């Protein structure tokens, strides 16, 4: 079995596990993403697929956080450096980086480059904080057992937000 076939099989198994967890009544489960210094929680059904960063085609005259276009099995997807978009530094390209493609229902055909995936988090096991993230595409904030602060990412609000849609300079 070739390396690409093994990788594709792994991606399919991961996607099936995530969907299985979502359909098993685990509405409080979130995918834990790290993007720059930020920690984010994404609903399972807001993620279409998670994969290593593919080769990108750059697009001139775009903002620094718009990394370009990727061919995902014959479909072009815009790739956004989510850490940079959220106000941090450009994401270093490491083996831990992942591209989180957003669910097709958003109609955005885009993926968020994140520093790493930190597994799943159950909201029932996190402490909800009273203060909220000020950004319109961010939701409730939580503290985990290690004292780390996590913010919910509202993917629908993100892909509809003017700043996210304005990629050109």
Give residue-wise pLDDT tens across range 41-73: 999 999 999 999 999 999 999 999 999 999 999
Query: Taking all residues of the chain, what is their mean pLDDT, rounded to a whole number?
Result: 90
Residue-level pLDDT at 92? 92
SS3 string, the chain, reads CCHHHHHHHHHHHHHHHHHHHHHCCCCCEEEEEEECCEEEEEEHHHEEEEECCCCEECCCCECCCEEEEEEECCEEEEEEEHHHHCCCCCCCCCCCCEEEEECHHHCCCEEEEECEEEEEEEHHHCEECCCCCCCCCEEEEEECCCCCEEEEECHHHHHHCHHHHCCEC
Q: How much of the chain exceeds pLDDT 70, in percent?
A: 92
Interval 117-148: pLDDT, tens: 999 999 999 999 998 888 999 999 999 999 99
Residue 22's pLDDT band, with cuts at 50, 70 and 90, is low
Over residues 68-98, the pLDDT tens digits come to: 999 999 999 999 999 999 999 999 999 999 9
- Which domains does the chain show, CATH number per domain? 3-124+159-165 (2.40.50.180)
- What pLDDT score was predicted for residue 146? 93
């Amino acid at each position: 079995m070739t390396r690409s076939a093994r990788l594709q099989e792994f991606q399919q198994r991961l996607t099936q596990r995530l969907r299985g967890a979502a359909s098993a009544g685990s509405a409080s489960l979130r995918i834990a993403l790290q993007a720059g210094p930020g920690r984010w929680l994404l609903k399972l059904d807001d993620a279409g697929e998670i994969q290593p960063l593919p080769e990108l085609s750059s697009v001139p005259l775009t903002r620094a956080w718009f990394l370009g276009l990727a061919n995902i099995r014959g479909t072009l997807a815009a790739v956004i450096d989510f850490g940079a978009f959220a106000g941090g530094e450009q994401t270093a390209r490491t083996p831990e980086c992942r591209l989180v493609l957003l669910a097709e229902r958003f109609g955005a055909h885009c993926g968020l480059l994140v520093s790493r995936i930190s597994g799943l988090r159950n909201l029932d096991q996190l402490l909800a904080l009273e203060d909220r993230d000020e950004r319109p595409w961010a939701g409730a904030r939580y503290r985990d057992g290690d004292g780390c602060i996590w913010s919910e990412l509202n993917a629908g609000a993100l892909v509809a937000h003017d700043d996210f849609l304005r990629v050109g300079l």
